[in-house]
Amino acid sequence: MNTLNTTPRHSGDQIAIDRRAFIKTLGAGFAAFALCRPTVALAEGATEAESAWGMLIDLTRCTGCNSCALACKDVNNFSYDQETPDHLDSDANSFVEICSTATDGREPGATSYVKRQCMHCLHPACASACTVGALRKTPEGPVVYDAEKCIGCRYCQYACPFGVPTYDWENPLGLIHKCDMCVDRLAVGEKPACVGSCPNGALRFGKRSDLLAQAKGQIASNADRYIDHIYGEFEAGGTSMLYLSNVPFAELGFPTLGADEVPHNAEQVMRQTPTIALTVATLATGLHLLTKRKETIYLEAHVQDPTGPTTEEIQP
């Protein structure tokens, strides 16, 4: 009795060669991705602290009047739907947070007021995380934002250790909002609007190095008024916004950060992201091609040979 021709058209050696070629191709793809992996540079224009502008915020003088937050709204032409903002938003680049604290020597439930805004880090993580250069550190100190370059990826939001950048969900362009230290006013010799609006002298503007010297002098001469800590002197590599307080900063919601520059961590994440994405995509594609190849070989090995016997010829 004649039998069907089931001899595979591809031998085991051929299959092994195909598999080796596939692995070589996949490896070459990984090498190409590694060589072409995009890198993220340190924030452009990160400057020496001594040459940058800064602000010293004395929380012992703040009464929560919100003059600074309202002045910020006014100078930026923001909506007054919410006259005293209670969080950072697309129409509020700063606000005054009310904090209830209870520390040694103070009555439980004592109230402190904390001005919140961009910290204008000396080495901003947001600028390092931005893949299109929409955020950058200027030589003068402010961290500024270019809406024309922004693609709305929101990497800056994830990178910022202070949770500052806000995303405008109502804008179809998806823009980011943050304090720019009134950079336009600085360009014409004026102070930030918030500084000029404070009636209690809680905000001081000047060279960061001068402000640090003033803050240290205040702590030394008023040990009973301030804790021995200038927030922003070292945190996250240093910030342009500096704080004095009579309450431990952790109790006021300030993140506890080391002196290491945050951009280093942001860069590691940003460098890994494209590689991981491309690796996953390559593996998925490779597995798909390998599966299809095996399927093709199997089908070719089990179909009837056109030159073989017909159905009638193999009937008993």
State pLDDT tens for residues 169-220. 888 888 999 999 999 999 999 999 999 999 999 999 999 999 999 999 999 9
Strand 110-116 and strand 135-137: the pairing is unpaired
Q: What is the pLDDT of residue 24?
A: 53
Report the pLDDT averaged over residues 60-74.
Answer: 96
Question: What is the distance between the alpha carbons of residues 160 and 158, in angstroms, rounded to a whole number?
Answer: 6
User: Please, is 107 exposed, middle or buried when counting C-beta atoms within 10 Å of its C-beta (0-12, 13-18, 19+)?
Assistant: exposed
Give percent above pLDDT 90 in the chain.
57
Residues 208, 49 contacting (CB under 8 angstroms): yes
Question: What is the distance between the alpha carbons of residues 232 and 28, in angstroms, rounded to a whole number?
Answer: 47
Q: In what order do the strands lie in the sheet with 53-58?
A: 203-207, 53-58, 241-244
Report the pLDDT averaged over residues 141-168.
Answer: 96
Q: What is the pLDDT of residues 254-305, one digit of tens each?
A: 999 998 877 655 555 555 555 554 565 577 676 767 777 767 776 766 665 5
pTM of this structure: 0.70
Question: What is the distance between the alpha carbons of residues 71 and 69, in angstroms, rounded to a whole number?
Answer: 5
Mean pLDDT of the chain: 80
Report the pLDDT averaged over residues 109-136.
Answer: 95
265: phi then psi, degrees, rounded to nearest 5: -70, -40
Residues 6+ apart with CB under 8 A from 110: 100, 101, 102, 103
Q: Which two tokens stand for residue 290?
A: 């390998």
Question: What is the distance between the alpha carbons of residues 118 and 191, in angstroms, rounded to a whole number?
Answer: 16
Going by C-alpha positions, the residue among 256, 239, 244 that lies closest to residue 114 is: 244
Strand 95-101 and strand 110-116: the pairing is antiparallel
Phi-psi region of 52 (alpha: psi -120 to 50; beta: other; left: phi over 0): beta
- Angstrom CA distances, 138 to 45, 50, 143, 204, 241, stand at 6, 14, 6, 20, 15
Question: What is the distance between the alpha carbons of residues 259 and 66, in angstroms, rounded to a whole number?
Answer: 31
Q: What is the pLDDT of residue 35?
A: 40
Q: What is the pLDDT of residue 45?
A: 43
Q: What is the pLDDT of residue 270?
A: 57
Query: Does residue 50 sit in helix, strand or coil?
Result: helix
Q: Which two tokens stand for residue 11?
A: 């031998």
Residue 2 has pLDDT above 70, yes or no: no
Cα pseudo-dihedral 68, 73, 79, 81, rounded to 10: 0
Residues 6+ apart with CB under 8 A from 252: 59, 99, 101, 112, 114, 245
Going by C-alpha positions, the residue among 315, 314, 316 that lies closest to residue 3 is: 314
Task: Give 53's strand partners.
Answer: 207
Element (H, E) at 96: strand 95-101
Query: Does residue 166 sit in helix, strand or coil?
Result: strand
